[in-house]
C-alpha cells in the first residue's frame, strides 16, 4: 500500500508533537474527547436541521477503553464520522497556520508555550503514541475506512469493517523510555482523573467500563466484582447553571476542590454576561493570601474554557495584576479551541472579557466593603498591598478605580480607614490629608512631628508599607484634597502670629543656623527653627519630592542607583535648646558645632535611620556628661 506524505505544514506540527518535551502530555485526551464531542454536535445539529428526527440525544456518548496488554487506548464516538476523503483531508492536512506562524516568529520559544496555550488538535496524540489508527464511518454511509500512521513517515488509508457511524481513535501508547513513562495513559484511574480534570463539562457522557464491587444478590455478606459502564464526567458545569440552582455548599466545595483552598472564600462572583462578549464566569476572592502570593513564583490567572472545554489552566490575561488574587474560571463560546488565523481576534475578545471582569471584581469588592466591613478588612490585610501597588503601577493608570478600595490605619481609633472616611471626618478648617510614614504604627506615633498635628485634632494616616507613600504621591489628591507628609511638607497649621514669630527667629538666628549646617559637613541642606514640634527638640524633614521613607525604600532595592532625600534639620523654636544654641553661638562656637552633631544624630535615630558615626556620638555625649 502506498504511504502518503503529510502536507508540509502538518508535518511540521507533527514533528513538534513527536519530539515534544511538554510536561502536560495528558492534554492529548482533552483534544480527542473534544473532537469526539464536536463530531456528535455536528451530527446532532445536522439531524435537527434536516428534520431527520430519529436521533436520540441520550444515545450519544464517548467511550474510552484501555488494554494494557496490547498497550492500546481507544476513544470512540457515535458522531458524524468521516468519509475516505474527509479522513484524507482532515487528518492528512491540518492547516494549523496560526500555530506555525507563531512558531516561526518565535523560533526559540519552547514547544511548551504553544502546546500549553492553545488547542493543538488531533496530532497531540503523537505525544504519547508511536502509532495511531483511526477507523471511521460517516453517518449515512455504508463504508468505513481505516487511517493508520506511525508519525513522520506518512499515513495509509484502507477500507475496514465498522457496524455503526462514528469514529474510533486507537492510540498505541509509547513504551517506557529512560526519561518518560507513558503507562499512566493505560491506567483506568489516571484516565478518570484526566477526564475529570479537563473534560468534566463535555455535554455528552464520557463512559468507561469500571470494576465495581457490590453485594451479591440474595446474600448479605458476599461480594462480587462486576464491570459496569460508568460516566466519568458530570456534564453540567456549575457556572452554566443559574445562580438559583446552585447551593452555597456546591459553590464552596467546587472552590475547595478546584482551587485548593481549605478556607472559604471572602466572596463569590457568578455571572453570565451577554453583549460585546458572551461568557460565564465564576470568580472567587480568597480570604487569605497563598503562601507564595508575594513571591515571583506566584502565577496569576483564571481557568479559561471554551464552550465547556478547558483550554488553559491559568490565563493571565483575564485579570489585571492588582486583582491577581482572584481565582476562578471563565467560559466563553466566543473563543475557539484552536489556534487559527483568528487568533488575534480572539485576543481582542479576551481583552473585552478581561475589562468586563475587572469591573465586576471592583464592584464586588466595594459591595463587600459596605456590606461586611470586617470581612473586607480581613481581605484587605491579605491583599491590600496588591491594590496599593495597583494604584502606583503603570503611572497611575488605574488609580481612579482603586482609590476607594484602599485603606490605611489612621490615628482615629487606630483602625483601618478609607480615604473617603478620612475626608468625611476632616475638620472644617482642615485643607489637607495628613499622613506619616514609618515601620510600624507604634513608631510613627512616637514621631515628634505627629504630636502637634494630633493635638490640633487632625487625623493622620499611618503608612507602614513600602508602597504606601508612592501610591499616595501617584494619587496626588483625593476629593480635591492634597496629601501632606507631616515629616516632609509644609503643614500650614500655624496661626499667622506664630508664623511671623518663627520667621523672625529664623531671620535673627541665620548665622548660627548656617554655622550648624557647616558643622554637619553639608549632610543637611539647611538647619532651621520650626513650630511643628511640641515636646521634642529636633526632627529631620526632607525637601522636594523625595521623602526620607522613599529614600529608604528606593535604596533598599537591589539596583546600583542610590538616591538621597534633601534633608533639613529642624529645631523646635519653642524648646529651651533653641535659645541655648543662640546664646552659645555668641560665646562658644566650638560647643555649638558639637551640639549640632548630637542633635543631628538624635534626629536620625528618631527617624529610624542609623547614626553615621556612633563612636563620635558617644564621645560627644560623654564629654557633655562630664562637663
Between 32 and 475, whose beta carbon lies closer to ligand ADP? Answer: 32
Minimum CB separation from ligand ADP for residue 304, in Å?
A: 16
Q: Are 409 and 462 in contact (CB under 8 A)?
A: yes
Residue 337 or residue 354: which is nearer to ligand ADP going by CB?
337
3-state class of 485 per DSSP? strand
Closer residue to ligand ADP, CB minimum distance, 75 or 573: 75
Beta bridge partners of 84: none
DSSP code per residue over 433-478: EEEEE-SSHHHHHT-HHHHHHHHTT--EEEE-SHHHHHHHHHH-EE
Give the alpha-carbon dihedral of 614, 617, 621, 623, to 10 degrees.
Answer: 110
Q: Is 199 in the site for ligand ADP (CB under 6 A)?
A: no
| Interface pick for ligand ADP out of 20, 165, 324, 338 (rule CB under 6 A) | 338
Q: Residue 91 or residue 409: which is nearer to ligand ADP going by CB?
A: 91
Q: How many residues bind ligand ADP (CB under 6 A)?
A: 18
Measured from the CB atom, the residue of 76 and 530 that comes closer to ligand ADP is 76
The three-state secondary structure class of 251 is: helix
Residue 491 lies near ligand ADP (rule: CB under 6 A) = no
Least separation in angstroms between residue 279's CB and ligand ADP is 21
Which CB, 303 or 338, lies closer to ligand ADP? 338
C-alpha torsion sign, points 21, 23, 28, 31: negative
- Piece in contact with ligand ADP (CB under 6 A), picked from 90-98, 152-160, 319-327, 357-365: 90-98
Q: Based on CB atoms, which residue is closest to ligand ADP, 204 or 470?
A: 204
Residue 356 to residue 364: CA distance in whole angstroms: 12
What is the nearest approach in angstroms of ligand ADP to the Cβ of residue 78?
10
Pairing of strands 566-572, 481-485: unpaired
**Interface pick for ligand ADP out of 14, 16, 80, 463 (rule CB under 6 A):** 80
Q: Write out the three cell numbers for 487.
A: 515629616
Task: Looking at residues 6 to 45 of the shown chain, list those that interact with ligand ADP (rule: CB under 6 A).
Answer: 31, 35-36, 39
Q: Shortest approach of ligand ADP to residue 80 CB, angstroms?
A: 6
Neighbours of 436 (CB within 10 A): 26
Q: Nearest approach, Cβ of 232 to ligand ADP (angstroms)?
A: 17
Binding mask 100-129 vs ligand ADP (x if CB under 6 A, - otherwise)?
-------------------x-xx-------
Q: Which residue has 493571565 as its cell numbers?
A: 316
DSSP string, 159-189: EE--SSSEEEEEEEEPPP-SS---GGGG-HH
CB of 201 to ligand ADP, least distance (A): 17
Distance of CA 269 to the CA centre of its chain: 16
Identify whether the C-beta of residue 207 lies closer than 8 Å to the C-beta of residue 63: yes
The minimum distance between CB 408 and ligand ADP, in angstroms, equals 52
Q: What angle do CA 476, 447, 387 make, to 5 degrees?
A: 35
SS (H, E, C) 264-328: CCCEEEEEEECCCCCEEEEEEECCCCCCCCCCCCCCCCEEEEECCEEEEEEEHHHCCHHHCCCEE
Among 46, 90, 141, 273, binds ligand ADP (CB under 6 A): 90
C-beta atoms surrounding 491 within 10 Å: 20
Scanning residues 164 to 183, which ones bind ligand ADP (CB under 6 A)?
Answer: 167
User: Least Å distance between CB 20 and ligand ADP?
Assistant: 15
CB of 37 to ligand ADP, least distance (A): 9
The answer to whether 284 and 326 are in contact (CB under 8 A) is yes
Is the alpha carbon torsion for 497, 503, 505, 508 positive or negative? Answer: negative
Q: Where are the beta strands (DSSP E) in 338-418?
A: 407-410, 416-418
Q: Is position 386 an interface residue for ligand ADP (rule: CB under 6 A)?
A: no
To ligand ADP, the closest distance from the beta carbon of 95 in angstroms equals 9
Query: Among 64, 79, 83, 201, which residue sits at the site for ligand ADP (rule: CB under 6 A)?
Result: 79
Name the residue with cell 493570601: 289
Is the CB of 63 or the CB of 287 nearer to ligand ADP?
63
CA 354 to chain CA centroid, nearest Å: 13
Binding segment for ligand ADP among 72-80, 222-230, 241-249, 394-402 (CB under 6 A)?
72-80
Are 327 and 259 a contacting pair, CB within 8 Å?
Answer: yes
82 is a site residue for ligand ADP (CB under 6 A): yes
Instruction: Report in angstroms how near the CB of residue 79 gets to ligand ADP at its nearest.
Output: 5
- Given a contact cutoff of 8 angstroms between Cβ atoms, the answer to whether 12 and 100 are in contact is yes
Considering the complex, state which of residue 91 and residue 315 has its C-beta at the smaller distance from ligand ADP: 91
| Positions 447 through 466 that interact with ligand ADP (CB under 6 A) | none
The CB-of-33 to ligand ADP minimum distance in angstroms stands at 9
Phi, psi of 129 (to 5 degrees): -120, 150
Minimal CA–CA distance to 34: which of 434, 271, 309?
309
When the beta carbons of 8 and 227 are compared against ligand ADP, the nearer one is 8
Q: Which of 26, 77, 358, 469 binds ligand ADP (CB under 6 A)?
A: 77
Minimum distance of ligand ADP from residue 194's CB (angstroms)? 17
Strand ranges in 517-608 using DSSP code E only, listed in sequence order: 526-530, 538-543, 566-572
The region of 79-87, 170-178, 345-353, 385-393 touching ligand ADP under the rule CB under 6 A is 79-87
547 touches ligand ADP (CB under 6 A) = no
Backbone angles phi, psi at 382, to 5 degrees: -80, -40
Candidate residues 27, 94, 402, 491; the one interacting with ligand ADP per rule CB under 6 A: 94
CB of 278 to ligand ADP, least distance (A): 21
Q: By CB under 6 A, is residue 312 in contact with ligand ADP? A: no
Q: Where along the sequence are the contacts to ligand ADP (CB under 6 A)?
A: 31, 35-36, 39, 77, 79-82, 90-91, 94, 119, 121-122, 167, 337-338
Amino acid at each position: 500500500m502506498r504511504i502518503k506524505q503529510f502536507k508540509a505544514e502538518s508535518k511540521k506540527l507533527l514533528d513538534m508533537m513527536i519530539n515534544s518535551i511538554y510536561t502536560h502530555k495528558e492534554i492529548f485526551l482533552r483534544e480527542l474527547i473534544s473532537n469526539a464531542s464536536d463530531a456528535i454536535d455536528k451530527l446532532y445539529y445536522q439531524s435537527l436541521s434536516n428534520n431527520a428526527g430519529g436521533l436520540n440525544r441520550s444515545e450519544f456518548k464517548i467511550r474510552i477503553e484501555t488494554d494494557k496488554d496490547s498497550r492500546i487506548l481507544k476513544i470512540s464516538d457515535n458522531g458524524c464520522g468521516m468519509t475516505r476523503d474527509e479522513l484524507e483531508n482532515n487528518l492528512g492536512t491540518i492547516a494549523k497556520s496560526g500555530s506555525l506562524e507563531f512558531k516561526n516568529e518565535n523560533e526559540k520559544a519552547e514547544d511548551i508555550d504553544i502546546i500549553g496555550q492553545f488547542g493543538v488538535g488531533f496530532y497531540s496524540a503523537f505525544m504519547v503514541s508511536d502509532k495511531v489508527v483511526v477507523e471511521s464511518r460517516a453517518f449515512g454511509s455504508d463504508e468505513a475506512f481505516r487511517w493508520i500512521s506511525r508519525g513522520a513517515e506518512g499515513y495509509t488509508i484502507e477500507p475496514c469493517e465498522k457496524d455503526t457511524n462514528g469514529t474510533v481513535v486507537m492510540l498505541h501508547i509509547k513504551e517506557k523510555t529512560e526519561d518518560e513513562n507513558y503507562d499512566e495513559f493505560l491506567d483506568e484511574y489516571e484516565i478518570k482523573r484526566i477526564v475529570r480534570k479537563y473534560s468534566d463539562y463535555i455535554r455528552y457522557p464520557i463512559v468507561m467500563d469500571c470494576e465495581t464491587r457490590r453485594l451479591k444478590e440474595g446474600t448479605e455478606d458476599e461480594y462480587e466484582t462486576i464491570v459496569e459502564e460508568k460516566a466519568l464526567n458530570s456534564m453540567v458545569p456549575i457556572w452554566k447553571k443559574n445562580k438559583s440552582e446552585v447551593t452555597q455548599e456546591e459553590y464552596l466545595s467546587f472552590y475547595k476542590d478546584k482551587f485548593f483552598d481549605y478556607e472559604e472564600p471572602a466572596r463569590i462572583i457568578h455571572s453570565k454576561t451577554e453583549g460585546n462578549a458572551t461568557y460565564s464566569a465564576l470568580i472567587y476572592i480568597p480570604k487569605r493570601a497563598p503562601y507564595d502570593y508575594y513571591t515571583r513564583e506566584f502565577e496569576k490567572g483564571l481557568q479559561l474554557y471554551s464552550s465547556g472545554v478547558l483550554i488553559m489552566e491559568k490565563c493571565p490575561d483575564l485579570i489585571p495584576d492588582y486583582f491577581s488574587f482572584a481565582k476562578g474560571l471563565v467560559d466563553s463560546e466566543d473563543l475557539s479551541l484552536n489556534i487559527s488565523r483568528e487568533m488575534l481576534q480572539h485576543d481582542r475578545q479576551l481583552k473585552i472579557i478581561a475589562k468586563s471582569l475587572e469591573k465586576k471584581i471592583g464592584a464586588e469588592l466595594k459591595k463587600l466593603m459596605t456590606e461586611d466591613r470586617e470581612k473586607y478588612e480581613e481581605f484587605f490585610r491579605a491583599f491590600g498591598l496588591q491594590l496599593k501597588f495597583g494604584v502606583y503601577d503603570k503611572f497611575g493608570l488605574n488609580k481612579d478605580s482603586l482609590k476607594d478600595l484602599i485603606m490605611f490605619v489612621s490615628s482615629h481609633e487606630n483602625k483601618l480607614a478609607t480615604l473617603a472616611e478620612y475626608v468625611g471626618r476632616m475638620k472644617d478648617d482642615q485643607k489637607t490629608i495628613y499622613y506619616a510614614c514609618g515601620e510600624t504604627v507604634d513608631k510613627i506615633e512616637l514621631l515628634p512631628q505627629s504630636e502637634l498635628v494630633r493635638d490640633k485634632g487632625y487625623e493622620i494616616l499611618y503608612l507602614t508599607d513600602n508602597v504606601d507613600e508612592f501610591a499616595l504621591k501617584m494619587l496626588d489628591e483625593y476629593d480635591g484634597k492634597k496629601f501632606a507628609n507631616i515629616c516632609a511638607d509644609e503643614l500650614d497649621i500655624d496661626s499667622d502670629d506664630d508664623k511671623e514669630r518663627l520667621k523672625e527667629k529664623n531671620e535673627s538666628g541665620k548665622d548660627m543656623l548656617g554655622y550648624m549646617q557647616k558643622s554637619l559637613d553639608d549632610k543637611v541642606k539647611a538647619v532651621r527653627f520650626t513650630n511643628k514640634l511640641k515636646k521634642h527638640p529636633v526632627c529631620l524633614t526632607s525637601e522636594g519630592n523625595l521623602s526620607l521613607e522613599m529614600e529608604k525604600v528606593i535604596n533598599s532595592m537591589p539596583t546600583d542607583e542610590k538616591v538621597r532625600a534633601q534633608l533639613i534639620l529642624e529645631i523646635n523654636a519653642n524648646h529651651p535648646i533653641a535659645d541655648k544654641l543662640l546664646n552659645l553661638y555668641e560665646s562658644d562656637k566650638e560647643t555649638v558645632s558639637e551640639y549640632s552633631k548630637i542633635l543631628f544624630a538624635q534626629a536620625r535615630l528618631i527617624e529610624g535611620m542609623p547614626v553615621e558615626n556612633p563612636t563620635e556620638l558617644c564621645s560627644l555625649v560623654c564629654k557633655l556628661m562630664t562637663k
